[in-house]
Amino acid sequence: MNTAYATTKVPIVQSIEEIRVMIMKHGGVGFRYTQVLDGITIEWGWTKGGQNFLAKLPMRFDYKPTHKQFGQWVPLTESQKEQEQRTKVRSLMYYLKATYDAIDKGIVLQEQAFMGDLVMRLPNGSTSRVIDALLPQIASGQRVNVSQLMLAEAPEAEIVTDPETLRRFRK
């Protein structure tokens, strides 16, 4: 594992708490963290201009064997799996820190930064992240119709594209 934070000793719970605090400092109105055997998911909401937003960011742990012994792939030890978890969650914390820095500096809007992770209501009534709903269509070359997607928390949501409204929204 030759990545940043590959040898971090920072416990997962500390990185998650830093993520929670960061989100709350940036207007978060809720935060949920779920950990399963092969990954974690964080979810949070915020309100802007009377509009509620919900983002969901899943992350999988990569427990792929790194070497062979006697021609067989050797599974990771529990210690190696724990290190993989610490490394990925620490990287996630720094990813979010950099993203919020860009938001703070006016480079992007929070809604832009997390567009793919926003939870939307689909025409069939189910909910999905934007990226999960659109990526299969994009990958298959289908025409993408976003007009039927609505924010899961706000059924009256619409996509704003005119420059004047966008300028007011950014204030």
pLDDT single digits (tens) 145-168: 666 666 554 333 344 444 554 444
What angle (nearest 5°) sits at the alpha carbon of residue 15, between those of residues 10 and 18? 130
| The overall pTM is greater than 0.85 | no
Residue 127 in domain: yes
Residue 78 in domain: yes
Mapped onto helix, strand or coil, the DSSP state of residue 118 is: strand
Alpha carbon distance 150, 127 (integer Å)? 9
Percentage, residues of the chain above pLDDT 90? 46
Residue 71 in domain: yes
Phi, psi for 163 (deg, rounded to 5): -60, -40
The pLDDT assigned to 51 comes to 86
Which secondary structure element, helix H or strand E, spans residue 141, and what is its range? none
- Going edge to edge, which strands form the sheet with 119-121? 127-129, 119-121, 150-151
Residue 148 in domain: yes
Question: Which tokens is 45 given?
Answer: 């909401």
Residue 7 in domain: no
One-letter amino acid at 9 equals K
The pLDDT assigned to 147 comes to 66
Q: Indicate the number of domains in the chain.
A: 1
Residue 145 in domain: yes
One-letter amino acid at 171 equals K
Parts of the chain with a pLDDT under 70: 1-2, 145-171
**Contact assessment for residue 95 and residue 23, using Cβ atoms and an 8 Å cutoff:** no
Residue 27 in domain: yes
Residue 49 in domain: yes
The pLDDT assigned to 156 comes to 37
Q: Residue 62: give the domain boundaries.
A: 12-170
